Structure 1
Amino acid sequence: MSTHKDPKCPGCGKPALAQYDPFCSQGCRDRDLLRWLDEGYRIPGPPADPDDE
């Protein structure tokens, strides 16, 4: 019995395809990139210093 699950696309949940890993299509891959470029995803960092502005 195998406990390995089929990988799912992080964008829509459909099964991922090897050529677009870890996504299911070029469309999901592009949407994810656009979220990063549009600052839809953020990585926490140290608080900004108000004097630096």
Structure 2
Amino acid sequence: MSILAKNGIQVDDTEASVILEFLYIIAKNYNKHKANQNAPNLKENSNLEKTA
């Protein structure tokens, strides 16, 4: 709440809780997205080593 207040955004406890839950969901999904982006590259590299 203090960070938002420094930027001129006034929220109460309930609104701050909703914002934190939203940010938590975004952070969880971001990590999953990054892992999925790296997976095809790892699979391609391992298949290349087997055929060589």
Q: TM-score, normalised by structure 1?
A: 0.35
Larger Rg, first or second structure (1 or 2): 2
TM-score (norm 2): 0.35
Identify the structure with the greater helix proportion.
2
